[in-house]
């Protein structure tokens, strides 16, 4: 697909794309998302496994991983690496996408996405009401867990690869990060 400079793209434009690439739509900008490196995929797979098992065992809702479209507005359609939707909000799940903000979003940093994950997407998730946001740095072996404050995210805790991650949103979830950052 040929991208047009300064064109404001919408979700409808995105649906007309006829190629096999992955795209996000952030602020009306169509962003090509390259395939992640294997370390990214390994860390994501392990986190999905831990979160999904906890959520299923406690009947808390649904967990999805990328690529899953999250439609926040006509010009905002990120594809979080991992997302959780609580049982009382399952109505935002459609056959084609998620229509609204997930309760938990996890983004795993890659060299090509780190800046956008930390700034634009972080602001977007806060604006649309995500209740908890994790930024995972697989190279450093660190997970930062953020909760919404009055005007911006507040760092709940930063965890190193030898610590036990605990989620304020998913009470009782404990992830031994040694098993994630092997």
Range of the domain at 96: 35-179
Say if residue 158's pLDDT is above 70. yes
Confidence of residue 5 (pLDDT cuts 50, 70, 90): low
What are the pLDDT digits (tens) for 34-55? 889 999 999 999 999 999 999 9
Residue 59 Ramachandran class (φ > 0 left, ψ -120 to 50 alpha, else beta):
left
Query: Between vectors from CA 80 to CA 141 and to CA 42, what angle results, nearest 5°?
Result: 40
144 in a structural domain:
yes
Say if residue 121's pLDDT is above 70. yes
What are the pLDDT digits (tens) for 53-83? 999 999 999 999 999 999 999 999 999 999 9
Residue 77 vs residues 43, 158, 181: alpha-carbon distances, Å: 23, 27, 29
pLDDT > 70: percent of the chain: 97
Q: Are 124 and 133 in contact (CB under 8 A)?
A: no
Q: What is the CATH number of the domain that holds 75?
A: 3.90.1570.10
3 in a structural domain:
no
7 in a structural domain:
no
pLDDT at 43: 97
Q: Which two tokens stand for residue 121?
A: 């997407």
> With the C-alpha atoms ordered 93, 94, 98, 101, is the resulting torsion angle positive or negative?
negative
Identify which of 86, 82, 97, 92 has the alpha carbon closest to the alpha carbon of residue 50. Answer: 82
Q: What total number of domains does the chain contain?
A: 1
Confidence of residue 7 (pLDDT cuts 50, 70, 90): confident
74 in a structural domain:
yes
Report which secondary-structure segment, H or E, holds 40. helix 38-57
Say if residue 16's pLDDT is above 70. yes
Q: Are 90 and 83 in contact (CB under 8 A)?
A: no
25 in a structural domain:
no
pTM: 0.94
């Amino acid at each position: 697909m040929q991208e047009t400079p300064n064109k404001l793209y919408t979700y409808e434009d995105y649906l007309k794309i006829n190629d096999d690439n992955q795209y996000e739509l952030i602020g009306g900008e169509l962003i090509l998302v390259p395939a992640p490196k294997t370390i990214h995929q390994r860390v994501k797979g392990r986190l999905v496994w831990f979160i999904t098992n906890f959520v299923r065992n406690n009947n808390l809702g649904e967990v999805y991983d990328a690529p899953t479209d999250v439609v926040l507005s006509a010009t905002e359609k990120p594809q979080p690496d991992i997302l959780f939707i609580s049982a009382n909000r399952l109505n935002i799940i459609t056959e084609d996408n998620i229509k609204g903000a997930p309760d938990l979003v996890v983004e795993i940093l890659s060299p090509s996405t780190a800046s956008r994950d930390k700034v634009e997407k972080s602001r977007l998730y806060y604006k649309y009401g995500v209740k908890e946001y994790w930024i995972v740095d697989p190279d450093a072996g660190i997970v930062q867990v953020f909760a919404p404050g009055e005007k911006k995210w507040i760092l709940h805790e930063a965890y190193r690869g030898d610590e036990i991650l605990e989620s304020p949103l998913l009470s009782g979830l404990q992830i031994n990060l040694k098993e994630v950052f092997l």
